[in-house]
Amino acid sequence: MPSPSRAVGLHRSIPSYAFAILVFCAGSLILAASSFAQSNAITLPRNLGELVRESEVVVQGWVTGVTLEPHDQLKNLMTVVVTLQVEETLKGENLRTLTFRQAVIDKRDQQQYMGYRTGQHVLLVLMSPSRFGLTSPAGLEQGRFHIEPLGAGKLGATNGFGNAGLFRGLNSQLQAKGVLVTSEVHEMITKPATGPVSLEHLKSLIRTIAATDSMK
């Protein structure tokens, strides 16, 4: 049987031991949450109109280069540098090629180059670069569309959210501004569903939104 003095010491050490476990668990949860936040960043849901308004440039093209590089000023920050051969500019300056730098915090995203791959056919709704030269698609995955064949010679586009919520509330916003769209585009935004949408109709709508915003 432990002596009284030792028994007291044992009782005092138990709360300290439990506290240490709690601190360790809390730290682990914070690190896990940080990693999860980068790969599955929680952003406010935005419809297409809001994404386009937040953007500086909207382009369609092919990814021709992807590299992982440390930031030249923020030494501890890794970035992915993406080069795009531009097919069409829907908003912003017309360019033949576009190179942008996006911050990468999570190790898994670094290994996966934030999901960018050479040869991808994409439509990107890009924010204005920060003073450190960093940018990203507006709404993160909401503003990055992968282009794939739909069949019958048509192309479709799907963002990282599967287009969920892409047209939510957009029809009423356009009506309030007196903006007219084609019957095909009207059907697309009033009968939304997840999954690919017509690239042709999506681009038509982006041009309309961008032109309307430029007239302010």
pLDDT, one tens digit per residue, over 106-165 is 777 666 778 899 999 999 999 999 999 999 999 999 999 999 999 889 999 999 999 999
User: Is the pLDDT reported for residue 56 higher than 60?
Assistant: yes
User: Is the pLDDT reported for residue 35 higher than 90?
Assistant: no
pLDDT of residue 111: 67
Residue 26: band (very low, low, confident or very high) from pLDDT cuts 50, 70, 90: very low
User: Is the pLDDT reported for residue 97 higher than 60?
Assistant: yes
Task: Tell me which residue of 50, 65, 143, 60 sits closest to 100, measured CA to CA.
Answer: 65
Is-contact 79 106, C-beta < 8 A?
no
Instruction: Identify the H or E element spanning 66.
Output: strand 55-70
Question: Considering the chain, what is the average pLDDT of its residues?
Answer: 83
Stretch 38-65: mean pLDDT: 87
pLDDT of residue 5: 46
- The vertex-155 CA angle with 188 and 126, nearest 5°, equals 75
Task: Tell me which residue of 147, 127, 131, 129 sits closest to 46, measured CA to CA.
Answer: 127
User: Is the pLDDT reported for residue 23 higher than 90?
Assistant: no
Task: Tell me which residue of 165, 145, 177 sits closest to 55, measured CA to CA.
Answer: 145
Is-contact 104 135, C-beta < 8 A?
no
- pTM score: 0.78
pLDDT of residue 186: 95
pLDDT of residue 43: 75
Task: Tell me which residue of 43, 203, 61 sits closest to 136, measured CA to CA.
Answer: 43
Separation of alpha carbons 167 and 185, rounded Å: 11
Separation of alpha carbons 178 and 148, rounded Å: 32
Residue 11: band (very low, low, confident or very high) from pLDDT cuts 50, 70, 90: very low
Instruction: Identify the H or E element spanning 15.
Output: helix 4-39
